[in-house]
Structure 1
Amino acid sequence: MMLKYGLVAAVAIFFFAFAPFARASVGVAYFYSDNCLMCEEIEPFVQQLQNMSFVELEKFKVSFMPLNPTANDSIFKNLSYLYDSPHDVPIFFVANEWFYFGNRSSVEEEKEKLLQTLYELSNYSIPPPVVEGKTVYPKPVCILIFYNSSRGEDVSDVENLLEKEIKFVRVDKLDVATKINRSIMKKVGANYTPVAIIGEEHYNLSLYNASFIVEKAKKYEKIGVEFPPTYEERKICALLFYSPTCPSCIEFKRELDALAKLYPLEIKTYDTHVKENYDLLLDYYAKYNVTKPHASNLFIGNKYFYSITQMDEIEKEVKRWVGIGLDCPTADKTTPEEFLKRYTVLAVAFLGLVDGINPCAFATLIFFIAYLERVKRREAVLPIGLSFSLAIYICYFFIGVGLLELLYVVESISSTLGRYIYGTVGIAAVILGIFSFYDFILIKKGESKVILQLPTFLKRKRGRILKKFTEDRKLLLLSLFAFGAGFVMSAIELACTGQILFVFLAAMRSANPPKALVIKYLLIYDFMFIVPLLIILSLFYVGYSSKALADRHKKTYGYTKLIIGAVLMVMGIYMVYRVFI
């Protein structure tokens, strides 16, 4: 008897000593920031939560610094998106619930709701919403429904009501008219249809209506529930090619990650900054007949998506494959050169040509030819003009490479800073486009002075240099001097001709192709830039006078401004959209 009482006493002592440690815990993530008045005011409440024996509260301080976000800022942004909660502090996340304390009028109400939720969940073991930097919650209520279409069974009313009434829900609907789904049904222990399985419970949909099923699912709404362990989900593979420095791409990825919490969607991501990944993207472009590159690219089955605005279509496509599964799409090998020839070369050539008809470049060559006319050296026009044009091509290429390297350096220092520089360039391009339109109006009114032109002191310097280089010298020497003059002229005129070049390079860089591909674009661009110079040179060589060319130049001057303005506006709006929207 004494031994019996001794054992009972030992068990009692053990229970009271270790029961507090064995009790289930509820994880809470609390986000706050410095200089947050409400955060300071609710600090006693935060300490109260920390003192609750079953609560594990982790604090995350955020900075809200867009140019230098912390790891906590990124976590908070993801959680805000997944929970569809305010992106503001102070806020608490518990299981599938969030509680925002930013509205002073509702603080006491939020406290009561949070405490009530914690006590409701105190009998469960609820991990924190964030574990080692990864989001664990929200978790969906996973519901498995089997039906037989060959018997005319329809469970869409149940599915629709569940998706409407349950905040985080995932419904896998399997038609047992197919042999493979009958095998799955047998594995999970269901032996009749139509049936809904929630947790370990089976509900005959012939006996229970949709509202009853929703009521049963509601019990799990705050914590979520997994599918039966014997249910082997068939993954739906999707390939996402995107730029991690592109805001719209990041938002697109967040939407897809949220979708992956509701469906067995396996998203394989590829950073298009990496050359191998970009080359692979070109392969998929070729297979899916994509003629216009995008910053975000999603491939599911035989479908291609590229925008956050297509999320409804994407979800519809994913739901098609639930219970069936879908392998990753494959693609045939396509080289960047092939893609360049097929889709991009015309656009790049057009931009180079538009830059080449810039009035500054035209004026320089006509000015140059006029000097040759004056010194009676018509036989020297062709070699000297070609030498001059070649120098401009080479110099402009080196200038382009230098600007490109500058963009790479800036982005290597801070991808966020690089993003804002691209946005600034886009805004500047829009402004320059407006100025070009205004110049067009001034020219049509007969005004001689326009906004976008070479400064007067540089025009005079250009004239002195050309006069110096076209003095009576031997042809070879004159050609060498012309080559040097071309280099000097390119540098002087960059203030006027560089408007489109810099915008072009920034736009190319923001699209994230490999550097080698951008260099190829630049070579094509620069060749087209000198094509108008070569045409003018040819016209003069076959008999046109510099005066006739100058008169023609004056007549088309306004329309040139109009074309340049349109191109700058389109490219500027494109860049601003890519960066900020």
Structure 2
Amino acid sequence: MSVKKICLFTLMFLLIFCSPIYVCFSVFEAPDVGSDAVCLAFFGTSRCHFCEEKWSLVADLEGYYPNLIVMRFDYMDEEDRSLEDYLFTKFNLPLNSPRTAVFVGNDYLLGVDITEKSLRSLIEKYLDSGAKPVWKYIYLAYFGFSSCFSCDLDWQMINRLREDYPMLVPKRFDCLNKSVVNMENELLRLYRVDVKAPRVAVFVGRHCLISEDIYEERLREIIEIYVGEGVGTIPPWKLLKTATKKLSLPVLSMVILGGLADGINPCAFTVLIFFISYLVYLKRSKTEIVLTGVSFISAVFTAYLIMGFGLMFFIVKLEFFPAINLMIKVITAIFALILCFVNLHDYHILKKGDVNRVFIKIPKSLHGKFHSIVRKMGETKFIVPFTFFAGLLVSIFEFACTGQVYIPIILLLSDPSLQFQALVYLALYNFMFIMPLITLFLAVYIGASIKEINNRISKHADKMKLLTSIILLFLAIILLTQIFSSL
């Protein structure tokens, strides 16, 4: 492959994926609840399969309409249920009507009437005129500390305001809870406030007040603004669901590409190929070969998943130490860039056919140990459990070679805003990592020549290095974007 083709391929790759990067790191702007914003309230519960089906229709449409602000309410929650009761009364709906409901402006949809067509029709009706929240409530989020006397005084003052403003609905959050700190950090980003949680703060409508700015006169001024507008406000804690969900697509694309690129790495193939060859040489039965192959690949998946969970847990714990967290991101970004150029160097070396000068590879000393482990596996009577244990051991030794993409991916996923999604994505990454191993194993099992497979891997090893280099460059760009956006 010529230098021109390499540059063209890299440019195409970056053009395709630069838009997800932009989306990924620009979603923390506060949603614009202007005159053209369309506020949609969805009521359902995650415990109901029917509700989840309807919610997926609503969530999918959010990306098509930039002015659409979606809020999800759980009618099993007492506070959300009372709001839905209020809306049912306002729209003269019987309280025994289907509880899965959508409210936009002066219109609503219930139960089976919630379809993609009806939702699009309802949203497009308000695209030009906009649709404010369908309630008159002014929601206020107060973040403080349960052990703080000053915070208690603030909360008492906020509750006294309800005597003059019965439409005010305050909700208190305790910053001694880690999940609350993560929530506050996301809100601070959404409201573009350049401070880190935990902080004593108030969020109401388009306004955010920090610490000493929280006093009665100022709160009255803000509440009067919304009373004068004659419309309610969006509960600040409901805005987070829109912001975090938008991270899914770009992160998902990197997880899939990174997992495949890491799995195609020749380091991951070496032991499995020798292992299968040795079992065939010993004339083991096909059943034994299948069981041991499944056991080995399962061990690789388990080992990498456990290592990923452990490293992610450690990084998430450092969220309370911003300086250390930032330093780790900087080191990992530099590490990814260095490995990018090292893989590019290996690509040129392999292109010339000089395998001995490749930098990133399993040391020859480890090859001998791996072969010794495989021989012991082949001779034991308890080959399946022994193979699983050996697979765990081999995965740990191979991590120095195969972990070059995995570590930046783990850091990318160690974002509290992703929450449970991060665990799912980590499992998906590892599944994509073992996909090439599964394909290789099946190819050998159905009769493909091991010698031919080895030749093909050697022939395309340079392209694998080039792909890994591009993936690492992309990961470094994402991490650097995160770093600069947090400064």
Give the TM-score, by structure 2 length: 0.51
What amino acid does structure 1 have at the position aligned with 2:326? R
Query: Structure 1, unaligned stretches of length 5 or more?
Result: 1-235, 240-268, 285-294, 304-320
Query: Structure 2, unaligned stretches of length 5 or more?
Result: 1-137, 142-172, 193-204, 207-224
Quick check: 1:504 aligned with 2:402? no
What amino acid does structure 2 have at the position aligned with 1:573? I
Quick check: 1:394 aligned with 2:302? yes
Aligned equivalents of 2:189, 2:438: Cα separation in 1:
40
Which residue matches 1:383? 291
Q: How does 1:488-499 map to 2 (within 5 A)?
A: 488-499=393-404
Q: How does 1:21-32 map to 2 (within 5 A)?
A: none
- Compared CA separation, residues 437 and 505, structure 1 to 2 (3 A): same
- Compared CA separation, residues 329 and 409, structure 1 to 2 (3 A): closer
- Compared CA separation, residues 344 and 422, structure 1 to 2 (3 A): closer
SS of residue in 1 equivalent to 2:457:
helix
Quick check: 1:417 aligned with 2:324? yes
Aligned equivalents of 1:296, 1:332: Cα separation in 2:
12
Aligned equivalents of 2:429, 2:315: Cα separation in 1:
18
Q: CA contact under 8 A between 1:360 and 1:496: conserved in structure 2?
A: yes
Indicate the structure whose relative CO is greater, using CA pairs within 8 Å and at least 6 residues apart.
Answer: 2
Which residue matches 1:559? 463
Quick check: 1:364 aligned with 2:271? yes
Aligned equivalents of 2:386, 2:474: Cα separation in 1:
39
- Compared CA separation, residues 385 and 512, structure 1 to 2 (3 A): same
- Compared CA separation, residues 332 and 508, structure 1 to 2 (3 A): closer
Aligned equivalents of 1:580, 1:526: Cα separation in 2:
29
Which residue matches 2:441? 537
Aligned equivalents of 1:425, 1:341: Cα separation in 2:
22
Aligned equivalents of 2:313, 2:374: Cα separation in 1:
31
Q: CA contact under 8 A between 2:174 and 2:180: conserved in structure 1?
A: no
Could you give the per-residue CA deviations for residues 243-295 of structure 1, whole angstroms, max 9, x where no partner exists? xxxxxxxxxxxxxxxxxxxxxxxxxx999x9646878999x9xxxxxxxxxx9
Which residue matches 1:250? none
Aligned equivalents of 1:418, 1:441: Cα separation in 2:
35
Aligned equivalents of 1:489, 1:336: Cα separation in 2:
40
- Compared CA separation, residues 348 and 298, structure 1 to 2 (3 A): farther
Could you give the per-residue CA deviations for residues 341-390 of structure 1, whole angstroms, max 9, x where no partner exists? 76644432222222111111012211211111221225122111000000
From 347, 369, 377, the equivalent of 1:440 is: 347
Aligned equivalents of 2:386, 2:243: Cα separation in 1:
39
Aligned equivalents of 1:561, 1:390: Cα separation in 2:
25
Quick check: 1:482 aligned with 2:381? no
Could you give the per-residue CA deviations for residues 41-63 of structure 1, whole angstroms, max 9, x where no partner exists? xxxxxxxxxxxxxxxxxxxxxxx
Aligned equivalents of 2:257, 2:427: Cα separation in 1:
13
Q: CA contact under 8 A between 1:395 and 1:487: conserved in structure 2?
A: yes
- Compared CA separation, residues 278 and 417, structure 1 to 2 (3 A): closer
Q: CA contact under 8 A between 2:299 and 2:388: conserved in structure 1?
A: yes
Q: CA contact under 8 A between 1:443 and 1:450: conserved in structure 2?
A: yes
Q: CA contact under 8 A between 2:259 and 2:431: conserved in structure 1?
A: yes
What amino acid does structure 2 have at the position aligned with 1:461? K
Quick check: 1:403 aligned with 2:311? yes
What amino acid does structure 2 have at the position aligned with 1:392? V
SS of residue in 1 equivalent to 2:439:
helix
What amino acid does structure 2 have at the position aligned with 1:438? H
Query: Larger Cα Rg: Structure 1 or Structure 2?
Result: 1
Aligned equivalents of 1:336, 1:392: Cα separation in 2:
34
Aligned equivalents of 1:367, 1:513: Cα separation in 2:
43
SS of residue in 1 equivalent to 2:481:
helix
In the comparison of the two structures, how many residue pairs are matched? 288
Q: CA contact under 8 A between 1:442 and 1:450: conserved in structure 2?
A: yes
Q: CA contact under 8 A between 1:336 and 1:517: conserved in structure 2?
A: no
Could you give the per-residue CA deviations for residues 76-112 of structure 1, whole angstroms, max 9, x where no partner exists? xxxxxxxxxxxxxxxxxxxxxxxxxxxxxxxxxxxxx
Could you give the per-residue CA deviations for residues 210-256 of structure 1, whole angstroms, max 9, x where no partner exists? xxxxxxxxxxxxxxxxxxxxxxxxxx9999xxxxxxxxxxxxxxxxx
Q: CA contact under 8 A between 1:371 and 1:470: conserved in structure 2?
A: yes
Aligned equivalents of 1:464, 1:455: Cα separation in 2:
15
Could you give the per-residue CA deviations for residues 494-553 of structure 1, whole angstroms, max 9, x where no partner exists? 1111111111111222x4335533222211111111111111111111111221211111
Aligned equivalents of 1:238, 1:565: Cα separation in 2:
48
Q: How does 1:279-318 map to 2 (within 5 A)?
A: 296-297=189-190
Q: CA contact under 8 A between 1:433 and 1:566: conserved in structure 2?
A: yes
The offset of 1:297, in angstroms, is: 3.8
